[in-house]
Amino acid sequence: MSKKPLLFQPLTLRGLTLPNRIVVSPLCMYSAVEGLAQPWHFAHLSTFARGKAGLVFAEATAVEARGRITPDCLGIWNDEQVEALKPITDFIVSMGSVPGIQLAHAGRKASTRAPFVPGGGAPVTREDTAPGYTPWQTVAPSAIPVAENWPVPTELDQAGMDEVRLAFVQAARRSIDAGFRVIELHLAHGYLLHSFLSPISNQRDDNYGGSLENRMRFPLEVAEAVRAEVGEDMPLFVRISAIDGLEGGWTMDDSIGLSRALVAVGIDVIDCSSGGIAGAPRFRIDDAGKPLTKDSARQPGFQVPYSARVRAETDARSMAVGVIVDPHQAEEILQSGGADLVALGREIMFDPFWPLRAAAELGVDPDFKLWPKQYAWAVNRRNQIAEYNRGD
């Protein structure tokens, strides 16, 4: 390539410059204790920093205890949780990467079992015996359960919404205290703020339900309050479900309107995912109403069209996520205008040094200078031996 690939060009967002366009997507570990980060979280997130991802997001982190997806989820509703996160952010920064955090409230999808415990993904019941596995009352915009046989959530009144908004604001302040330099608000996958947006889950008849403007009102209030709390220099991302993928649900056109409104209240990047509003639907549809088959729903880069539209039709930067596995694929997404950033999930868990491999494949780092110095000499020697054995 005649010029440095976009994947490895810096990106400045407000008062912060990311060293490259590779992002570690928030990846739930279900390994916290009372919301506190454990040694596993340090080991997990520090690996991606050693692999030189530009931005490393901590997992969906609950802004209050009832907002956890499971009893094992990370939290940031008290100062003890802040102290447990500081060593992680310090190490990420020391490696030249940027630490980010996704602030979340699970809403009516809270109080569930971690995926790797018996009955994983289902609601916690009083019969569960694992430590901490006592069910709690969930909240939502309307008293509509996620799916059949799920608990009915409590409909939030104005005081309840005020409490949640304040929890996001306080969590944002604690995130800064913990050393995070980017905050993402979770408005996707059926969790609380997404459930206000979608007409499937929001059937209120007040100023927070009904029209698109009303359904967007509370998530926008939260975003605006968080921007006011963190100041003008800190980048704010929002993850959206660009489409619900269910008849009568949230659409891509809705997402364009939401993205424009989010920019107006100070959001910088729209992270474009999809789905999750209701439990285990038998089928999903695309934004044109066409059924998505199992194969078509999970093709490499299947969500890139969403980030491309946000980038083209709004003033937001956009981030693509979803089966991005190959460095050349990631570069093509950026080159074609599909996104400003690419986020990896399962692929980077499988290969935490994916960014370093991408740098080699795209010709950015032929001498392995991007590698941590503790590894670079060994990697260089390994390749010298491989070349000698091939007779190069």
Tokens read off for 207: 């100023």
What angle, rounded to 10 degrees, do the helices at 327-335 and 354-361 form?
70
Can you give the pLDDT at residue 378? 78
Catalytic residue among 30, 133, 191, 208: 191
Q: Along the 392 residues of the chain, how does pLDDT read in single tens digits?
A: 447 899 999 999 999 999 999 999 999 999 999 999 999 999 999 999 999 999 999 999 999 999 999 999 999 999 999 999 999 999 999 999 999 999 999 999 999 999 998 889 999 999 988 888 999 999 999 999 999 999 999 999 999 999 999 999 999 999 999 999 999 999 999 999 999 999 999 999 999 999 999 999 999 999 999 999 999 999 999 999 999 999 999 999 999 999 999 999 999 999 999 999 986 544 455 666 665 655 555 789 999 999 999 999 999 999 999 999 999 999 999 999 999 999 999 999 999 999 999 999 999 998 888 999 888 777 776 666 656 567 65
Residue 391 CB partners (closer than 8 Å, separation 6+): none
Question: Which helix (H) or strand (E) element contains residue 59?
Answer: strand 55-62
Q: Would you state the pLDDT for residue 288?
A: 64
Residue type for position 91: F
The superfamily (CATH) of domain 6-361 is: Aldolase class I (3.20.20.70)
* C-alpha 214: how far from chain center: 25
Contact 265, 217 (CB under 8 A): no
Phi, then psi, of 351 in degrees rounded to 5? -135, 85
Q: Residue holding tokens 């000499």?
A: 377
SS3 136: coil
pLDDT for res 387: 62
Q: Which secondary-structure segment (H or E) carries 354?
A: helix 354-361
Residue 357's contacts (CB-CB under 8 Å, 6 or more residues apart) are: 327, 351
User: How is the chain split into domains, by residue range?
Assistant: 6-361
What's the pLDDT score for residue 10?
Answer: 98
The pLDDT assigned to 176 comes to: 98
- Looking at residue 277, its amino acid is I
Q: Is 191 a catalytic residue?
A: yes
- Angle at alpha carbon of residue 30, lines to 27 and 35, rounded to 5°: 105
Burial readout 69-105 (b: 16 or more C-beta within 10 A, e: otherwise): bbbbbbbbbeeebbebbebbbebbeebebbbbbbbbb
The Cβ of residue 180 has, within 10 Å, a number of other Cβ atoms equal to 29
Rounded CA-CA distance 188/165 in Å is 17
CA distance 209 to 205: 5
β 291-292/22-24 pair status: unpaired
pLDDT for 342 equals 98
Q: 320-330 as b/e, with b when 16 or more CB fall inside 10 Å?
A: bbbbbeebeeb
pLDDT given at position 281:
43
CA distance 210 to 178: 38
CA angle 293, 294, 296 (to 5 degrees): 60
